[in-house]
Structure 1
Amino acid sequence: MWENRDVSAALAAWDFGAAFRLIRQITSLRQEDMSAITGLSQSFLSTLESGTRRLVNIDKIINVLQQMDVPPHIAPIPIPGSAAPNGLQTRGAQPTLIPAPAWENPLDIAKRLSATTASNVDPATVALLEQGVADLVDRYETEGPLRLAPEAVDFRNFVQDRLDGRQPPRQREALFRLAAQASGLLGYMAVNAGREALAEAYCAEAEQLAKEIADHELIMWTYGTRSLNAYYAGHYDRAVHWADMGLAIDPTHPQAIRLQANGLARALGKLGDRAGAERAIAAAEDLSSQHTVSAGLTSCISFEPYGRARTLANAATVHVALANAPRVLGYADQIDELVEQSDSAWSQALVRLDVATALLAGPRPDVEHAMVLGRQVLEAGGGPPIRSVVQRAGELHSQATEWKDVAVVREYADTLRSWQSAPQTRELAKSAKMSHPTERRRGAADAAHGRPGRLPSHPSTQHQ
């Protein structure tokens, strides 16, 4: 109780009412208990605590301090019978000298300083760990979550071991950022592996660690990953919610590009909110022109802002949900060369599957072209198995069910079954949430007539 700074400050200011109120809160004493201890009436205590009266009588103050055993070093006046700050022991009117505390020697001070600034990690190790995060990001699209996750877990545990030790503030902040990034990467990997609950747990951990060091950019990235997790789980309202949470931090930040295009726009497209989805795409493109972002296809898991090509790829996905084939093809044409030149098999597969699905929409569906594109993706493998590719390949098949007797559709179905028979792909197929074709067409038709079937009760356009 006496170590509480507010109690000490109240006594130093002679504000005994505030001191009594704080002491009662700390100790759970009642006013009648405090009255019995101090000898003051309960009614007088009540007026002191309310601030309507002050305790100014020196004799009463000394008696209260004695009855409460207030330590001399925080008492506002010397208390008879206790050690005063000047080293005198007052007993009645006869003060006696008591020994002053011994001074420390320089060695004692040096030992304390060494213990305070000691660290179990040096700046060179921190730099190597930062390079380790960059390495995981660079290798992700070629090796995939199932291969890299164990390495990322080892990395996260190594950082945690360092955090359990002691470091100066700057190195500790760097370790917190590394821990948050490692948890964020594991969250993203869990999304792609179809592990929804695990992804949410990793993202919640990453968010809390980032908040400890006030890294708003990393917090926004984490909200984007939570939105992605909800999107692939089919919880489109939740996807919008997480995107809005990230945008509320700073709607003008470069990280908002991802939140608008990958989070808000795609989820609103699935909800049939054409106007809201198009506003979000426009906001993402506007932010891309305001900030210096890569023109190429940035890694999907990167902590850097979305590049322009990845933003346009997401815009194409939005218009797949809205059954707007011309817009899908238009966006795909803009990024076709960049996608083909990239090392991202996932991006190549996803853009082709979006185009294939779009070709089945509209008044004159091009079933043969769509199925040929789909088979090309599956025969190329689509990169290491991830949920998004598995899900869109399945949705293409679902969208083509009304032409199930057409030869090219049967061939695609056979190729899909063979592709999904691989153990890792089979597990992802079980977790993938597929849109039913009739639901997709109904939602798109509603959107075309300005009648979104499921509008979320949220201010989805407040950040535009």
Structure 2
Amino acid sequence: MTDALSDWDFGAAFRHIRQVASLRQEDMSAITGLSQSFLSTLESGTRRLLNIDKIIPVLERLGVPPHVAPIPVPGSVAQSLQATGGLQSTLIPAPVWESPLDIAKRLNATTSSNTDPATVAILEQGVADLVDRYEAEGPHRLAPEAVDLRNFIQDRLDGQQPPRQRGALFRLAAQASGLLGYMAVNAGRETVAEAYCREAEELAKEITDLELIMWIQGTRSLNAYYAGHYDQAVQWADAGLAIDPNHPQAIRLHSNGRARALGKLGDRPGAEGAIAAAEELSSQHLVPMGLTSCISFEPYGMARTLANAATVHVALTNTARVLGYADQIDELVEQSDSAWSQALVRLDVATALLAGPRPDVERAMVLGRQVLEAGGGPPIRSVVQRAGELLAGAKGWQNLPAVREYGDALRSWQSAPQKKYLAKSAKMARPTEQTREAADAAHGRPGRLSSHASAQRQ
């Protein structure tokens, strides 16, 4: 820089300044007062700046120190000291003005970003892609990709962005952590799931994303439900509903959160009231009729709400209601790509067939075998848990060949490492008193079932 100025090579000096300060020629034009086209010729070496009347203003605007400037700059501190012998300047300090270059460098540093809008769009698509692929590939396969995505977003957050892009990154980070929390629930990792949900909630709070916070509370409720902590599941759902009870996200909190947990607790009025609230909200909002992805950030569609209603009435041992809800969504479930939903609805129907005054044990075991033979989709806790609950519910008929065959098939199905872990982590429900009574009432002793009762269910 000093050599360039001493040689009156302003083009080389300007080029050096722009490189150091990350400035464009337009920025340098605004600072120096020289046209961009003239600056271009100076930097290319095709022209030289020799006009003193132009050089002095340029030196002043750039704040070039007197000992570096090729000519004296009027009004400089050095000239003031020479004119006054140094006395006046020491008594009246000169204003400490920043140079235009300093100001431009600060502005550039403030507005610079390590994440452009195109990168944000790619990350948003990455989150959407995980949601779209989840039911086909499952948590064990997709979790590593989700971790990579979350870490990449964190790398961006550790840098600097303007407020709008930083807010988008916070939302993406919260969503990625939320997805990991949901995956951990399905993988039977309760503690990890809660840690991810806590992280997601704090990130969502930073940008006041209330809809996402409600979704996170629903995932916490799901985690507590499959851990067997039904009171806690209700509390998490209620925490989400307290944010906005009329929001579309409240549909999930009512049907998947409160209703199912209250059903497990035996609170029939509370459970049925929660299902009614979910159905009422579904009628007030524009929700899809089809089967939405279980992990989607969108509000629950009607089919998924009704599937949860069926699960609620399994816990309440109301076979007729379970079969009624299953009939309503049967076509949508069978046409969907969700192997999990198909498995869960069949297992709910099978378990419901064991209840009531005329249990159909053989049909229940056939449905259970169908689920196991189809595979049930990628291994997740809910399918493994309900498959185990079906066998536990048939304990009163354990001498029936159909029950023994289902038990053998279940043990073989659960022998795969991931299913084995999920089976150990699942909190299997004990057979209800109603189921035991139904077994005892079947022709006076367990282990026998009339062919008429079986045929009726076929």
One-letter amino acid matched to 1:99: P
2:312 alignment counterpart: 318
Q: In the TM superposition, what whole-angstrom CA distance separates every residue of 1:9-39 from its partner, at most 9, and x where no partner exists?
A: xxxxxxxxxxxxxxxxxxxxxxxxxxxxxxx
- 2:245 corresponds to: 251
One-letter amino acid matched to 2:103: I
Distance in 2 (alpha carbons) for counterparts of 1:356 and 1:277: 21
Alpha-carbon distance in structure 2 between the residues aligned to 1:101 and 1:395: 81
In the alignment, structure 1 residue 301 sits paired with structure 2 residue 295: yes
Alpha-carbon distance in structure 2 between the residues aligned to 1:340 and 1:359: 20
Q: CA 1:98/1:317 → structure 2, altered by over 3 Å: closer, same or farther?
A: same
Task: Give the Cα separation in 2 of the matches to 1:210 and 1:249.
Answer: 13
Query: Any stretches of 5+ residues in structure 1 without a counterpart?
Result: 1-95, 445-464
Root mean square deviation, CA, Å: 1.4
Q: How far 1:101 moved relative to its partner?
A: 2.5
1:331 to 307, 310, 325: 325
8 Å CA contact 1:272–1:443 kept in 2: the answer is: no
Q: Which residue of 2 aligns with 1:402?
A: 396
Structure-1 separation of matches of 2:335 and 2:312: 23
> Do residues 201 (structure 1) and 195 (structure 2) align?
yes
Q: 1:425 aligns with which of 416, 419, 427?
A: 419
Partner Cα distance (2:281, 2:162) in 1: 37
Q: Which residue of 1 aligns with 2:378?
A: 384
2:280 maps to 1:286: yes
Partners of 2:263 and 2:394 in 1: CA distance = 20
Query: Map of 1:15-414 to 2, 5 A cutoff?
Result: 98-414=92-408
Distance change (3 Å), C-alpha of 1:202 and 1:442? farther
Q: CA–CA distance in 1 between the matches of 2:92 and 2:157?
A: 45
SS at match of 1:337: helix
Q: Classify 1:165/1:442 alpha carbon distance in 2 versus 1 (closer, same or farther; 3 Å).
A: farther
Q: Is the 8 A contact 2:393 2:435 kept in 1?
A: no
**TM-superposed deviation, 1:148:** 0.4
- Matched residues in 2 for 1:427 and 1:122: separation? 42
Q: Quick one: distance in 2 between partners of 1:265 and 1:238?
A: 13
User: Mean Cα displacement is larger for which, 228-237 or 108-117?
Assistant: 108-117
Contact 2:174–2:200, Cα closer than 8 Å, also in 1: yes
Distance in 1 separating the partners of 2:296 and 2:425: 24
Structure-2-length-normalised TM-score: 0.75
The one-letter code matched in structure 1 to 2:135 is E
Q: Percent identity?
A: 83
Return the offset for 1:127: 0.3
TM-score norm. by structure 1 comes to 0.74
CA drift of 1:100 comes to: 4.0
Q: CA deviation at 1:441?
A: 5.1
Aligned counterparts of 1:105 and 1:420: Cα–Cα separation in 2: 73
Displacement after TM superposition at 1:344 (Å): 0.2
Quote the offset at 1:176 in angstroms. 0.3
1:324/1:170 CA distance change after superposition, 3 Å: same
Shift in alpha-carbon separation, 1:442–1:283, aligned structure 2, 3 A: farther
Q: Following TM superposition, by how much is the alpha carbon of 1:130 offset from its aligned partner in structure 2, in angstroms?
A: 0.2
Whichever residue aligns with residue 375 of structure 2, its letter is G
CA separation in 2, counterparts of 1:275 and 1:393?
27
Q: Secondary structure at the match of 2:266?
A: coil
3-state SS of paired residue (1:437): coil
Q: What is the identity, as a one-letter code, of the residue corresponding to 1:316?
A: A
* One-letter amino acid of the counterpart of residue 237, structure 1: D
The change in CA–CA distance for 1:148 and 1:239 in structure 2 (over 3 A counts) is same
Tell me if the contact between 1:321 and 1:440 (Cα under 8 Å) persists in the aligned partners: no
Q: Kindly tell me: are residues 305 and 312 of structure 1, through their superposed partners in 2, closer, same or farther at Cα, counting changes over 3 Å?
A: same
Amino acid at match of 2:363: H
Kindly tell me the number of residue pairs found equivalent between the two proteins.
Answer: 349
Query: How far did 1:107 drift?
Result: 1.4
* Corresponding letter in the other structure for 2:264: K
Contact 2:322 2:352 in 1 (8 A): yes
C-alpha deviations, 1:343-377, integer Å up to 9, x for none?
00000000000000000000000011100000000
Pairwise CA distance, 1:440:
7.3
Query: Match for residue 44 of structure 2?
Result: none
Asked if 2 retains the 8 angstrom alpha-carbon contact of 1:145 and 1:193, the reply is yes
Tell me the CA shift for residue 103 of structure 1.
Answer: 1.7
Paired residue type of 1:212: E
Contact 1:271 1:443 in 2 (8 A): no
Decide which structure has greater helix share. Answer: 2
Q: Is the 8 A contact 2:356 2:434 kept in 1?
A: no
The residue matched to 2:125 in structure 1 has which SS? Answer: helix
Displacement of 1:99 in angstroms is 1.3
Q: Which has the larger radius of gyration?
A: 2
